[in-house]
Chains A and B, each alone.
Chain A
Amino acid sequence: MKILVPLKRVADPDNANKVKIPASGDKIETTGLEWKPNPFDEYALEAALRLTENGQTPKVRAGEVVVVTFGPKETEQTLRAALATGADRAVRIDAADDKLDGDLVARALAALIEKEKPDVVVMGKQAVDGDSNQVGQILAELLDWPMATFAATIQEEAGALLVSREVDGGVATMRVQLPAIVTVDLRIVAPTSVYSLKTARTFKYNDGVRFAALPAIMAAKKKPLVEIKLADLAADQALKVNYATFQAPPARKAGIKVKDVTELVTRLQTEAKVL
């Protein structure tokens, strides 16, 4: 199976409260924050690796995992890290980070997919900077492919994937014939979430994503990484969604500490009046 995994780098999500908005409001300032791979994209890569191996022999890749990102030269770090983790090949689509929207990214990916012809695209359900949650769905429509969004589990079948999705109030299960798009949710990296046809259903993965060993990090430097110009994939680079300004959220005023349950109940009754 050949799998394409789009990756995006984001400003360190665990320090997202440190983003700043200048008085002009014309941008979001992330200076001082480290670039990290979008967590959902890391989960997508882990799911793609699990789908292309026997869980008992994770060094042998049964199939191919191609990772792709959009951005300037320095985003190749994100790709190299993915190659070290187990991906076979990488593509960087040369673009300015802030001249992209979900529609343009989906159109460029669709053009890349016409060339690469993967069986599956596995991607994060959303990037935690823009929090838009749209590229996978738009891409599926552009390609006229079936999609399974917010996947919590994936089981490979012959020519298809059985996917359970986290929806409001429960779990929806669906089957998509390949080629298809799958966008993944948090639980996809649990020990029994993803099974390829090769992996025994009794096998349990470690919880979370795998980490690259030092030799793999060295070897990743020799794995193929090509650059493609955005213009070669998308002639029309006009954005459909534009951000004129940004605002900081209103600060919550500091509350108080109460000494015990009795004081809490009294204050909720007489001060906050919410009981």
Chain B
Amino acid sequence: MADILVVAEVAEGKLKKTTHSAVTFARTTSAALGGTYSILVMGDAVSDAAAEASKLGAAKVIVVEDASLKSYLAERFAPTVAAIGKGFAVIVGTASAFGKDLLPRVAGRLAAGYASDITEVLAAGNKLTYKRPMFAGNAFGMATISTAIQVVSVRQSAFSPAEPTDSASPIEKAAFTAPTGNAASRVQFVSLDQVKTERPELAEARVVVSGGRALKERFSEILDPLCDVLGAALGASRAACDAGYAPSDLQVGQTGKVVAPSLYFAIGISGAIQHLAGMKGSKVIVAINKDGDAPIFQVADYGLVADLFPTVPELTKQLKAAKG
């Protein structure tokens, strides 16, 4: 048996784009193993998400609906994922906040090995080897899992989102496995405060503009117009987040978001190892910093040693003019 189960991520009844990266893993891996892949969609009312998942070329879409799944909690989701996942060789999701929380819990339940945040998978016969970054991206480990069921999370920026196919996968309802025991009865969802933004999501944007502590209180004033002209997502260094100049969910780095856009601007960012781990995979990197010795210039394709305060507005102006 060499079939793969993709655990979909759903928000407000819609399929999140993170799911498409896990589907890409499942497509290539199931083809190499000579098996199929299915997509598990869970929530309280997920018919829209299931319909969208059915366009992604899966053998089937498995839907589990229950009122108690309205708000995500690992303790409520894990029993069902494990019960359905038992019939598969690999259970995969994307290493988003959702996947990173849920999948190791599922692995624990199934006594399965778990490889997190992988950037590549190699198949030789029936054997899968997972490439995963370690030491803030300064080394890659080639990992194998020895258990019959393998649990994997994929790095979103390393697996391009799966395109829809012409076929429509059958949608099957499956039973909700109600949690028993203590964990689920002792946890309570209180609230989810989401930051509303018109900008693209960091992990999905083609262009990312990130700022560092050097921007101080003028973080938004300086960077928002540049983001607008580029249609870019806004990011930040840890130092900028810690200082309160940017909200913490914008942090790019080893422990924040990992991005790999076509174009990345590092503005007033010195380039600590932990930051580089989150953006080194970008295709083209531009750095603007007044310190010519800043480590960011060692990874930048184009470096401009300059004071960012006059420079960034000038860049915004010229980009606007170039666009006509």
Contact = CB atoms under 8 A, between A and B. Distances in A.
B202 to A, nearest CB: 9
B178 interface: no
B182 A145 contact: yes
Contacts of B104: 102, 133-134, 137-138, 141
Contacts of A14: 272-273
Interface string A126-145: 10111111100111111011
B100 A13 contact: no
Contacts of B139: 19, 21, 28, 246-249
Overall SS of chain B's interface? mixed
**Residue among B131, B147, B188, B323 with most chain A CB within 10 A:** B188
A248 B103 CA distance: 27
Contacts of A125: 255
A130 B118 CA distance: 12
A114 interface: no
A273 B190 CA distance: 47
Contact of A257 (B116, B129, B274, B297): B297
B114 interface: yes
B318 A261 contact: yes
B34 interface: no
Given A170-B192, A176-B187, A245-B142, A268 B114 contact: no
A204 B249 CA distance: 23
Interface residues of B, number: 95
Given A144-B183, A272-B301, A274-B284, A241 B135 contact: no
A152 interface: yes
Contacts of B113: 101, 103, 240-241
Contacts of B96: 168
B68 interface: no
Contacts of B302: 255-258, 264, 267-268, 272
B190 A162 contact: yes
Interface residues of A, number: 85
A186 interface: yes
Nearest to A244: B142
A247 B201 contact: no
A170 B193 contact: yes
Contacts of A106: 108
A242 B190 contact: no
B309 interface: no
A46 interface: no
B84 interface: no
B69 interface: no
A146 B135 contact: no
Contacts of A129: 134-135
Nearest to B191: A173
Interface in A218-264: 238-249, 252, 254-258, 260-262, 264
Interface string A112-129: 000000000000011011
B270 interface: no
B315 interface: yes
A166 B145 CA distance: 29
B137 interface: yes
A167 interface: yes
Contacts of B51: none
A101 to B, nearest CB: 8
A128 B114 contact: no
Contacts of A11: 135
B162 interface: no
Contacts of A21: 139
B238 interface: yes
B27 interface: no
Contact of A240 (B103, B145, B274): B145
Given A11-B135, A144-B181, A247 B142 contact: yes
25 contacts: A13-B274, A15-B273, A19-B138, A28-B139, A103-B107, A131-B116, A132-B116, A134-B116, A137-B108, A141-B106, A146-B187, A147-B74, A147-B105, A170-B195, A174-B188, A180-B186, A240-B145, A243-B142, A255-B299, A258-B303, A264-B286, A265-B315, A265-B318, A274-B263, A275-B263
